[in-house]
Amino acid sequence: MKSFSQILNSKPVEIKSQPLNTELVYITEGNSQVGSLLLVYGQEGASIYSVEVLPTHRGKGYGKTLVESAIQKCQMNGCQYIELNTEVDNTVANNLYNSLGFELLGIKDTFNNYRKSL
């Protein structure tokens, strides 16, 4: 089997970093990325996906900083709302989103659906 670099070197390949309606929001400590989230813009609002902070960097407020940055980006882009889903039993995340003014709209399967009007 060919390695990734062999495939890249064997034929022209175009790598795209993200669609135009998608933004990767990330946070660094020193020269290392330690957390990120994916922000996807729709017609009237945006959705947050995959909020992640490395286990060794949790408890430093990086998750809150990422979400606050996403909210600010949405406000600058004229979004009317921002939404996200999180597991019902993820107490840390649920407390974070509540503290940032997200409203629980309901539960679908095992996920809380949150929305914040901007």
| SS3 state of residue 95 | helix
Q: What is the pLDDT of residue 57?
A: 92
Q: What is the pLDDT of residue 108?
A: 85
The verdict on residue 72 lying in a domain is yes
**Reported pTM:** 0.82
Q: Look up the CATH number of the domain holding residue 97.
A: 3.40.630.30
Give per-10-residue mean pLDDT for the chain (118 aa): 56 56 91 93 96 94 95 96 96 97 94 97
15-53: burial string, b at 16+ Cβ within 10 Å, e else: eeeeeeeebebebeeeeeebbbbbbebeeebbbbeebeb
Count: domains in the chain: 1
The verdict on residue 57 lying in a domain is yes
Q: What is the pLDDT of residue 10?
A: 58
Q: What sign does the dihedral 79-81-82-84 (CA atoms) show?
A: negative
CA distances from 112 to 60, 82, 97 (A): 24, 14, 11
Q: Which residues pair with 26 in a beta bridge?
A: 36
